[in-house]
Chains A and B, each alone.
Chain A
Amino acid sequence: MKGKLSISFCLAAALLLISRPIAAHHGTSGYDMDKVITLNGTVTSFNWSNPHCIVHIDVKDSKGEVKDWIIELAAPTLMTRNGWAKDSMKPGDEVIAETHPAKNGATTGLSGASTNLLKFVVNGHALPSHSG
């Protein structure tokens, strides 16, 4: 499965996952909060920084072209309270990540904030997640 694209639309699951709004400092208007997609790929960077932690993931699309996905998470203090740490992942790790994709089709997504944290599986191990 390494590097292989696997994006699935899980609307039913999304309805459960977004039963409470994800709170970010900038709101969620840029993301499709009614949709959750799943990315399979390889971490290229994990930036543990304010105002939001950011993960870059290389994901192959259906044409075999590698796309750089930018995944937004909560601030470090809030992620720490969610059970994550700055070494929760590192470049080269294989990940399966759920995310709310950008409305405009950009390879950008929102996966977590204070009240919701979508599923992240790193090298086969699930990180803490919750739906509020």
Chain B
Amino acid sequence: MTQRKSRLTLVLLATPLFSPVVRAQSAPVASSAGQHESTAVARVPDFSGVWAVEGGSPSWDPADPRGAKPEELPWAMEKFKAARPPFGAHGTFEAVNDPVQKYCDPPGITRLYNYPWQFSLVQTPGTVYILYEFPDVWRPIALDREHPKSPDSTWIGDSIGKYEGDTFVIDTIDLNDKTWIDQVGHPHSDALHLIERFRRLDHDTLELSVTFDDPKAYTKSFTAKRVFKRSSAPMEVTPCSLTEMQSFNDEVMKTTTQSPKK
């Protein structure tokens, strides 16, 4: 963790060095990691800025926007039935087993886009970093390598990216199966393969299209979109503290799940 924080600090300190890159509408970056070549400078779309979700939905499944129905595969169906989510058709305050709300576990990548908190992309030549305000999570998107051959499953998986015209495409695998893909409790397996596609609709509007491919959990892949607006509010840090979460649950949540007063 210390190493990750040190790395993030370096990234943030280095950001001004790349300010011509991240501020331009379409900006030049080195054609290979960290090495500028005067004869082969690529131009990439600019996703800099602070972005906040507009509208949105607690579910990522476009066929099940309220999280009302179990999935077709037994593995996913059993997990979905066991979920006691805070949102959606089965939303509850009682015995919630949302791993974020109950344990302050890191949310799955796609849950990060359902929160009302902001995120920011920091584009550097070899890596794009995405910083999420809540719950103080960041992830590196490597631009100059393939996925590792013997990866470890982690909370945020392994992400590699590339620019395709005006779109930034992120390919993520090697996720553990401890997270939900959304706030209504849709599960996923460790075979989940995510494709995120960012593109700007205009100067102040960012579109994200996500394709979920998880053959262990779902009969077919599905794709859904979110739209984000540019925010003038600065990025802030909102960690998930288990102490604060438990205090809140004791003070507020429990009072609303006790027997009604006569």
Number of A-B residue pairs having CB atoms within 8 Å of each other in the complex: 86
Q: Are A77 and B256 in contact (CB under 8 A)?
A: no
Specify the chain A residue showing the minimal Cβ separation from B98.
A26
CB interface residues, B 43-88, toward A, < 8 Å: 58, 85-88
Known A54-B248, A75-B238, A106-B261; contact A25-B101, beta-carbon cutoff 8 A: yes
Does the CB pair B238–A106 fall under 8 Å? Answer: no
* Distance between Cα atoms of A49 and B103 in the complex (Å): 18
Once bound together, how far apart are the Cα atoms of A52 and B253, in whole Å?
11
Question: Pick the contact of B238 from A50, A104, A107 — CB < 8 Å?
Answer: A50
Residues of B within 8 A of A (CB): 58, 85-88, 91-93, 96, 98, 100-101, 115-117, 133-134, 183, 233, 236, 238-241, 244-245, 248, 251-253, 255-261
Given contacts A51-B245, A54-B248, A104-B258, contact A30 B253 (CB under 8 A): yes
How many A residues are at the interface, by size bracket?
Answer: 20 to 34
Contact between chains at B252 and A108 (CB < 8 Å): yes
Across-interface contacts of B258 in A (CB, < 8 A): 104, 106
A-B contact pairs, 27 of them (CB 8 A): A23-B116, A25-B86, A25-B100, A26-B86, A26-B96, A26-B98, A26-B253, A27-B87, A27-B91, A29-B91, A30-B257, A49-B244, A50-B248, A70-B251, A75-B134, A77-B133, A77-B238, A78-B117, A81-B233, A103-B256, A103-B260, A104-B259, A104-B260, A105-B260, A106-B258, A106-B261, A107-B255
Q: Which residues of B sit under 8 angstroms from A28, Cβ to Cβ?
A: 91
Q: Is the interface of A mostly helix, strand, loop or mixed?
A: loop
Which secondary structure dominates chain B's binding surface?
loop
Hey, what's the 0/1 contact readout for A12-28 against B, CB within 8 Å counting as 1? 00000000000101111
Q: Which of B88, B116, B240 contacts A114 (CB 8 A)?
A: B116
A105 with B92: CB separation less than 8 A:
no
A78-B248 in contact (CB<8A): no
Given contacts A49-B244, A50-B238, contact A106 B256 (CB under 8 A): yes
Q: How does the 8 Å CB contact mask read for A58-95 relative to B, with 1 for contact and 0 for none?
A: 00000000000010101111101100000000000000
Contacts of A78 in B (CB 8 A): 116-117
Which A residues form the contact surface with B (CB < 8 A)?
23, 25-31, 49-52, 54, 70, 72, 74-78, 80-81, 102-108, 113-115
Contact B239 A50 (CB under 8 A): yes
Output the least CB separation between A109 and chain B (Å).
Answer: 10
State in angstroms the CA–CA spacing of A45 and B240 once bound together: 23
B92: chain A residues within 8 A (beta carbon): 27, 29
